[in-house]
């Protein structure tokens, strides 16, 4: 993106909450963001990043599908 200023990048991530984790959403997002920014995306210009908010919901029980598999 730094080499081509006309390039626009959008990325969609599955930032999955570990099963039964009670860690707050802001901590999970920070744990994702730091290595992404420092190790994976080292350019100056950053992509537009999205994630599914449902992946951050607390899980308190197994679904019927998970029990059967």
Q: pLDDT tens string for the chain (69 positions)?
A: 899 999 999 999 888 887 777 888 888 889 989 999 999 998 999 999 998 877 676 665 555 555 454
| CA dihedral over 52, 55, 58, 60, signed as positive or negative | positive
pTM for the full predicted model: 0.64
Q: How far, in whole angstroms, is CA 45 from its chain's centroid?
A: 19
What pLDDT does 69 receive?
47
Structure tokens at 43: 């350019």
**What pLDDT is stored for residue 46 in this prediction?**
92
CA of residue 47 relative to chain centroid, distance: 13
């Amino acid at each position: 993106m730094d080499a081509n200023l006309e390039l626009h990048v959008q990325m969609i991530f599955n930032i999955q909450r570990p099963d039964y984790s009670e860690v707050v959403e802001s901590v999970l997002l920070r744990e994702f963001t730091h290595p992404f920014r420092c190790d994976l995306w080292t350019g100056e210009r950053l992509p537009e990043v999205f994630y599914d908010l449902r992946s951050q919901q607390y899980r308190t029980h197994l679904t019927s599908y998970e029990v059967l598999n």
